[in-house]
Amino acid sequence: MYVSLKDVAARAGVSFQTASKVLNGHSRVASPSTRERIQRAAAELGYVPNAMARGLVRQASVTIGVLADDFSDQAVSQFVLAAQRAAASHGHGALISSVHADIDAELAVRKLLEYRVDGILVAAPSLEDEPQLGDALRGPLPVVSINRIHGGGVPLIGSDHALTGTLAAQHLLDLGHRRIGTVIGPRGRQVVRRRTRGFRDTLRAAGRPLPERRIAEADWTYDGGWAATHRLLDTDPAITAVFVQNDVMAMGALKALHERGLRLPADCSVVGCDDLSFAAYLVPPLTTVRIPFEETGERAATLLLDRIGGKQIPTRNLLPVELVVRESTTSP
Amino acid sequence: MYVSLKDVAARAGVSFQTASKVLNGHSRVASPSTRERIQRAAAELGYVPNAMARGLVRQASVTIGVLADDFSDQAVSQFVLAAQRAAASHGHGALISSVHADIDAELAVRKLLEYRVDGILVAAPSLEDEPQLGDALRGPLPVVSINRIHGGGVPLIGSDHALTGTLAAQHLLDLGHRRIGTVIGPRGRQVVRRRTRGFRDTLRAAGRPLPERRIAEADWTYDGGWAATHRLLDTDPAITAVFVQNDVMAMGALKALHERGLRLPADCSVVGCDDLSFAAYLVPPLTTVRIPFEETGERAATLLLDRIGGKQIPTRNLLPVELVVRESTTSP
DNA sequence: CCTCGATGAGCGAACGTTCGCCTACTGTGC
DNA sequence: GCACAGTAGGCGAACGTTCGCTCATCGAGG
């Protein structure tokens, strides 16, 4: 069905090994005329090299594996897309594998190993520190991850979470807010701890410690953000500003605040986090801390390819975050 | 680096071919005791079969290619995720390839062919009817697409676009609206034509034809939807309801209506299309026509695998759409 | 006792490449 | 007229599998 090197060689009247060399650009191997003959034969027959055969002998599939938990999540999909493009621009394919309730990490990783991917990119925040995933990933294969991997030794890439919290806090303090609440993600997570710490430390340094009652935990979802915001204002109605640890929950928060009849941002300011594409189109447009997902994906792929190429890469890679001021924040 | 069949066989004291057969579950090939010995050796050594070698001899990579234009788009990424999972549950890997401005379709398809994918799933609405893509896809390889492919012959899967328009129109008519506008996607697209036709025909059948001035074209983006909505109300301020052809533009529409000081939904009803995850959290929660992206992805993968397996599959596959009534619509 | 049909296991070939090494030819300098 | 260097291209082996065929052993039936 596919035309092979042998077919091309036959048409050009050379051995298939010679055709291989010419088609791979080894220059000092054939006369210009033979070279031209081979190229032409390949083009005429529509020769497409067989990556599996090549991978077999070269002992490298020229493919990376991408392990994600939920890449219908916009943050993850932006990351994956950018990573795929970066990989492609270096000639590498991207094989995706997803982990979710039904399918355990071990199986997903094994699938990737069967295809002999040259390295794995992990974007599975929900599997942070999961021993099973850590075990599956242990081994000689290069891995770069966006979330902590149990057992360590895996280079991380991400953004400066503490700074994220700091930027949000500083912005609200600068505006003159004094009673500030926050809706955080699941407490166990690194991201959450770091963002919260940056946020809390900044408030404390300004003489405005963050009491526990002004912290509401949620699960990153619209619904969770919505409910948490209601809880927050139920326990402390005097709050004039809220930092929500991702944009999706911030959207829920906005809805909750609307429901309470508050005028936004006059009665309550909201700072989100992520800067997803919809943030600018919320009502009011959301002030948020931008997390560079695309840059992260691109960088992650580049780092992974570097490691595959044998280079040493840093074990922690932080990309800068940035406050994007829109209209959901104002002075109290 | 990886352990091969030969290693396993050596440890079990059999030939590697026998090990192969046993590990592939060919039952009538070895005595229970040898079988057990081989299994144990494989487990102890951590044998992971080499999919490239297997693919070479079997002449099938057990992999499908997924060609998408922008899978950071939520609709596309939901589709891709579901497709990947369906493929995985049938033991197939998923290799992704993206097409965008810098990289032409031909190259993206060729990459997939190099890996000898067993079939290709196309989700590239922006490349609808693109001759270049059609040419690249022509050939014996099974393909299933979500958008029309130039040259024909490619089985399509999607939702009933005309019905989508009909449902939206009927809902607004039922509520008593008479002056109804619509924000549509790029006019050239099939989806747009079909949705618009269903919408227009239903209005006309009710004695309320849709004049051209109540149609505003946009480009599927927030911004586009926002601007188109402003244009629509500038030319015809009497409009009491708008059908917007996707949720992203609907979000822009909501923003534009807010800016005009309209109370929603009292002063203007909005019906979206897609039912993306954020639709329920807009203010007001968006009434929209649900497009089953996940089901589409799953179905697409299943169809493709069927074709790969040699079955005949229908050339047009329509999945049902459904109106989801929330709070952005009410009687005028 | 001889043959026959299972059963268990080995063997060779093939899949489409890459890569290092070998060989044959060509022309140059003495 | 001969050794020698350089160049063009061929050849064999290897990568890790699968699969069909062959072969040896064994117990049973005549």
| Residue pLDDT, tens place only, A33-91 | 889 999 999 999 999 999 999 999 999 999 999 999 988 899 999 999 999 999 999 99
Q: Residue A73: closest CA among chain B residues belongs to which residue?
A: B74
Tell me, what CATH number does A30's domain have? Answer: 1.10.260.40
Q: Is the CB of A202 under 7 A from strand C?
A: no
Bases along strand C below 7 A from a protein CB? 7-20
Residue B43 is predicted with a pLDDT of 96
Distance A15 CA to C24 C1' (A): 15
A198 and A281 in one domain? yes
Distance of CA A241 to the CA centre of its chain: 29
Name the burial class of residue B26, with classes exposed (0-12), middle (13-18) and buried (19+) by CB atoms within 10 angstroms of its CB: exposed
Mutation site for A-interface testing, chosen from B283, B293, B328 by largest number of A Cβ within 10 Å: B283
For A265-304, write each residue's pLDDT tens digit. Answer: 999 999 999 999 999 999 899 999 999 999 999 999 999 9
Other Cβ atoms less than 10 A from the Cβ of B277: the count is 17
| pLDDT at B29 exceeding the cut of 80 | no
Which residue blocks in chain A are alpha helix, DSSP H?
A: 5-12, 16-23, 32-45, 51-58, 74-89, 105-114, 131-137, 161-174, 190-205, 222-235, 247-259, 293-308
- Say if residues A121 and A65 touch (Cβ distance below 8 Å): yes
Contact A122, B57 (CB under 8 A): no
The pLDDT of residue A102 is 65
Residues A30 and A177 in one domain: no
Q: Tell if the CB–CB gap between A222 and B52 is shorter than 8 Å.
A: no
The nearest alpha carbon in chain A to B98 belongs to A85
Average pLDDT over residues A135-155: 94
In this structure, is residue B55 part of a structural domain? Answer: no
With both helix axes pointing from N to C terminus, report the angle between B32-45 and B16-23 in degrees, rounded to the nearest 10: 90
In chain B, which residues have their Cβ closer than 8 Å to the Cβ of A226?
A: 281
The answer to whether position B221 is within a domain reads yes
**What is the distance in angstroms measured between the alpha-carbon CA of A13 and the sugar C1' of C25?**
18
Q: How far apart are CA A152 and CA A284, in angstroms?
A: 42
Which CATH number belongs to the domain containing residue A108 in this structure? Answer: 3.40.50.2300
Residue B2 CB in 7 A reach of strand D: yes
With CA of B50 and C1' of each nucleotide, the nearest comes out as D16
The secondary structure of A85-148 as a DSSP string is HHHHHTT-EEEEEE-BTTB-HHHHHHHHHHTT-SEEEEE-GGGTT-HHHHHHH-SSS-EEESS-
A184 and A99 both lie in a single domain: no
pLDDT tens digit sequence for B297-316: 999 999 999 999 999 999 99
Strands B63-68 and A316-319: unpaired
- pLDDT tens digits, A220-267: 999 999 999 999 999 999 999 999 999 999 999 999 999 999 999 999
Query: Does residue A324 form part of some domain?
Result: no
Q: Which of residues 19-58 of B touch strand C (CB under 7 A)?
A: 28-31, 33-35, 53, 56-57
Residue A247 and residue A299 share a domain: no
Asked whether residue B326 is assigned to any structural domain, the reply reads no
Q: What is the pLDDT of residues B141-198, one digit of tens each?
A: 999 999 999 998 999 999 999 999 999 999 999 999 999 999 999 999 999 999 999 9
Residue A23 beta carbon within 7 A of nucleic strand C = yes
Percent of the residues in chain B that have a pLDDT greater than 70, as a whole number: 99
Residue A326 lies in a domain: no
- Amino acid, single-letter form, for residue B212: E
pLDDT at residue B102 in the model: 65
Q: CA-nearest residue of chain A to B61?
A: A52
Amino acid B279 CA to nucleotide C7 C1' distance, rounded Å: 65
Quick one: pLDDT band at residue B23, thresholds 50, 70, 90?
very high
CA of B52 to C1' of D18 (A): 12
Residue A37 lies in a domain: yes
Same domain, B129 and B187: no
Structural domain for B275, as ranges: 161-291
* Residues B267 and B178 placed together within one structural domain of the fold: yes
What is the C-alpha to C-alpha distance for residues B24 and A144, in angstroms, rounded to an integer?
32
Contact B292, B299 (CB under 8 A): no
Terminal Cα distance for chain B, rounded: 71
pLDDT at A25: 86
Residues 163-222 of A with CB under 7 A from strand D: none
Residue A139 C-alpha from the chain's centroid: 22
Nearest to A52 among B49, B52, B140 (CB): B52
Asked if B218 and B112 sit in the same domain, the reply is no
Mutate to test the interface with A, among B90, B96, B251 (most CBs of A within 10 A): B96
Note whether residue B277 is domain-resident: yes
Residues 6+ positions from A189 with CB-CB distance below 8 Å: A125, A128
Range scoring the smallest mean pLDDT among A121-130, A157-166, B20-29, B192-201:
B20-29
Give the pLDDT of residue B76: 95
Quick check: A314 pLDDT over 90?
yes
Nearest-Cα distance to chain A for B204, in Å, is: 33
- The answer to whether residues A249 and A178 belong to one domain is yes
Counted domains in chain B? 3
Residue from B59, B72, B244 to probe the interface with A (highest A Cβ count within 10 Å): B72
Whether A329 maps to a domain, the answer reads no
Tokens at A292, concatenated? 């560079």
Whether residue A166 sits in one domain with residue A154: no
Percentage of chain B surpassing pLDDT 90? 92
In a shared domain, residues B222 and B254: yes
CB contact under 8 A, A52 and B100: no
Same-domain check for residues A84 and A182:
no
Chain B residue numbers touching A244 (CB-CB < 8 A):
none
Report which DSSP code applies to A286. P
User: Average of pLDDT values for A106-111?
Assistant: 94
| Domain identity same for A141 and A168 | no
3-state secondary structure chain B: CCCCHHHHHHHHCCCHHHHHHHHCCCCCCCCHHHHHHHHHHHHHHCCCCCHHHHHHHHCCCCEEEEEECCCCCHHHHHHHHHHHHHHHHCCCEEEEEECECCECHHHHHHHHHHCCCCEEEEECHHHCCCHHHHHHHCCCCCEEECCCCCCCCCCEEEECHHHHHHHHHHHHHHCCCCCEEEEECCCCCHHHHHHHHHHHHHHHHCCCCCCHHHEEECCCCHHHHHHHHHHHHHHCCCCCEEEECCHHHHHHHHHHHHHCCCCCCCCCEEEEEECCHHHHHCCCCCEEEECCHHHHHHHHHHHHHHHHCCCCCCCEEEECCEEECCCCCCCC
- Round and report the angstrom distance from CA (A56) to C1' (D21): 27
Distance from CA of B84 to the nearest CA of A (A): 7
Q: Which residues of A touch B97 (CB under 8 A)?
A: 84, 88, 93-94
pLDDT given for residue B4 in this prediction: 95
Please tell me the predicted confidence (pLDDT) of residue B27. 73
pLDDT digits (tens, 9 = 90+) for B88-127: 999 999 999 999 866 688 999 999 999 999 999 999 999 9
The nearest alpha carbon in chain B to A276 belongs to B72
pLDDT at B249 over 70: yes
Q: Which nucleotide is nearest to A114 (CA to C1')?
A: D16
**Res A71: pLDDT:** 82
